[in-house]
Structure 1
Amino acid sequence: MTQRQVLLTLPEVVAMTRLSKPTIYKYIADEEHDFPKQVRLGPGRVVWVKSEIDHWLRQRMKRRDEDFDKFAARMSEELGIPVTVAKRPSDTA
């Protein structure tokens, strides 16, 4: 059985990501951000697939955590003492 996709309107994507409308469209146009593209349903009507937005947000959090881990390792090396990192909520999910 195919799982039904949840579709989001632009205001829902704005609320979910806390990005402005112009930023969302800028991120779609700029491949560096890898933001999910909208699905055109008809004239003047577009939606986004919620699971794609969820995945994009998870990837951003993962990248943030990796960047922080690199920073902590660099600080440990520069300071000559171990820098420990507390567990983040995303580590337990």
Structure 2
Amino acid sequence: MAAPLSLLFGDAEDGQLAWQEQALCAQTDPEAFFPEKGGSTREAKKVCASCEVRAQCLEYALANDERFGIWGGLSERERRRLKKRAV
């Protein structure tokens, strides 16, 4: 059974995080999104690829400097590269 969204993302009190209720990761094993160092990200990225809130998830991760896990279909390293290119 997947963890409730509030455990993964915190409470969405003001509606800004309402997209999280539609996130496919909330219906999946959360451990897939936080693999061990050197572990496969394939399963998480596969879920992200068909998620309708992928863009909002990635935007959240970039804005909040999420350093761990797969967010919006990108790993930590991929998000760092994306941020560097945007600067």
- TM-score under structure 2 normalisation? 0.29
- TM-score under structure 1 normalisation? 0.28
Structure having the higher Rg:
1
Which structure carries more strand by proportion? 1
